[in-house]
Amino acid sequence: MDRTQIGTVRLDGETPQLSGTLAGSVERTAVGQTADGRAFSKFHIDGTIAHAARSIDVEFRPVNFRGLLDTSLGVDNIDLSLTAPPAQP
């Protein structure tokens, strides 16, 4: 995709949302506090990226990340799947 940004997932507002050409949903699934009293939110993101290239690069890049002293970002349970159209004769 020639390093073209096709969309973003915004988690910093009251309502999380997808933008650009991303299709799918973002749901805040939990809000709480760590043992030392820092607030956290947990999200489920389900998205579709349509493309016709031979490969695709997906980056997780935080925006307005304030570092270890004030905020953190964790990513886990990633599931990638491919839906391919049937071959044409």
Residue 1 pLDDT exceeds 60: no
Cα distance between residue 15 and residue 27, in whole Å: 9
**pTM tops 0.85:** no
Is residue 52 in some structural domain? yes
In a domain, 76, yes or no: no
Residue 28 lies in a domain: yes
The beta strand positions in 1-89, using DSSP E, are: 7-10, 17-20, 23-33, 39-48
Q: Answer yes or no: is 85 within a domain.
A: no
Q: What is the average pLDDT score of the chain?
A: 77
Residue 77 lies in a domain: no
79: in domain: no
User: Per the domain annotation, does 5 fall within a domain?
Assistant: yes
Range of the domain at 14: 1-64
Closest by CA position to 8, among listed 56, 55, 61:
61
As for how many domains the chain has, the answer is 1
Query: pLDDT tens across 52-84, in order?
Result: 777 777 777 777 666 666 666 777 788 777 777
86, part of any domain:
no
Residue of higher predicted confidence among 52 and 35: 35
